[in-house]
Amino acid sequence: MKNISVSQKIKVLASLLILTIFTVISITIYLNQKNIKDATIVNIAGKQRMLTQKITKNIFYLYQYKTDDFSELDNALSEFNHGLKTLKDGNKLLGISAAPTQDINNQISKVIILWDSFEKNTNNFKTSLMQNDINQLNSILKYIYKTNNKLLAEVDTIVTLYTKHIEQKTNFIKNFQYVSFSLLFIFALYALIQLRQIEAHAREFIAKSKKISSNDLENIELLDMNGETEFVEMADNFNCFIHKVSSAMDYSQTALEQSKLASQKLESLTDEFSNIINELQNRPEIAKQLDKSEDIVIESTEDLIKSTKKLQNLKDELDKLLTSCKSNI
């Protein structure tokens, strides 16, 4: 499985959080605006109920007092027609859409059929009242009396359907917000877990660095990190450094010990050669060969001493490297 870098995780988490928050805010604002418009529509539908009663009441009032002042009746009829058209087709000026569901649209159509007949009889009532046609007036009043309650019930059904529609949208908003907040909580929890893992890797790296600074390379363990690419790469480089420094120190220490041991052996051989030379110095035939051997031994001893000094310098440089690492941490 391919490791994911810390920067990639942070970018993904930030993108998801921003996207979720933006989506929640945008949809919530949109749905709230729709609810405001829906409340306006419910008010219009509720006013339609009131207008049916107002029209009926005004008709009986006009019949009772035999007056021809139809201004209030005409205003109520005009207002009812405007409200009915708004419920059916919407109103761009008010930002109201057409009937949102098929059930509401069908119910409005039923009311329109009833209203067309009701309005026609209302207009006939005005004409009959002006002509004082008693028979026609009585017929119209019976129709108004019977139809009024039916029209009122059908308009009330429109209000009920709109109310249910708004309640459904309100429940949808609540459920959407619950789901969105749950997602935000999950993202936040996941981000916290990732930050804890990053912190753990950082603490482990610092602990290993302190061991190096304290020259405790014998007890230090190699880093074993999985997950973020940056920490895996850093662990590989760190482990490589530890391996190289440890190998160099082990090699220099072994070489130094062997050099010292060789120097001691060579000193011992030198002493033995000195004794042999003292015994054979009176023999001219081998004196010449002994002088050559002595020169070779002296030269070898000097070279060995130089090598020992160089190894000692190498060890000193490695010690300085560790001291420098400690001072920089």
Residue 70 neighbours by CB distance under 10 Å: 19
pLDDT tier at 111 (50, 70, 90 boundaries)? very high
Look up the CATH number of the domain holding residue 180.
1.20.120.1730
Joined together, the tokens standing for residue 139 give 């017929």
Are residues 135 and 58 both part of a single domain? yes
Q: Per residue in 185-219, pLDDT tens?
A: 887 787 788 778 777 767 776 776 666 555 554 55
Domain-terminating residue out of 175, 197, 219: 197
3-state SS, 10-66, equals HHHHHHHHHHHHHHHHHHHHHHHHHHHHHHHHHHHHHHHHHHHHHHHHHHHHHHHHC
Q: Per residue in 51-95, pLDDT tens?
A: 999 999 999 999 988 887 899 999 999 999 999 999 998 888 887
| Residues 214, 217, 222, 228, CA torsion sign | positive
Are residues 251 and 317 both part of a single domain? yes
Joined together, the tokens standing for residue 243 give 């391996």
Are residues 114 and 51 both part of a single domain? yes
**Radius of gyration in angstroms for the set of CA atoms belonging to the chain, rounded to a whole number:** 52
pTM score, whole prediction: 0.55
Among 124-138, 159-173, 257-271, whose mean pLDDT is lowest? 257-271
Are residues 277 and 176 both part of a single domain? no
Does 221 reside within a domain? Answer: no
Domain-terminating residue out of 181, 197, 213: 197
Helix (H, G, I), strand (E, B) or coil at 1: coil
At residue 94, φ and ψ (nearest 5 deg) are -90, -5
Are residues 148 and 71 both part of a single domain? yes
Does 206 reside within a domain? Answer: no
Are residues 250 and 131 both part of a single domain? no
Domain-terminating residue out of 156, 177, 197: 197
Cα 86 off chain centre by: 42
Helix (H, G, I), strand (E, B) or coil at 123: helix
Range of the domain at 127: 6-197
At residue 98, φ and ψ (nearest 5 deg) are -65, 175
Residue with tokens 């959407």: 176
Work out how many domains the chain is built from and give that number. 2
Does 208 reside within a domain? Answer: no
Does 204 reside within a domain? Answer: no
| Stretch 105-123: mean pLDDT | 94
Are residues 192 and 233 both part of a single domain? no
Does 68 reside within a domain? Answer: yes
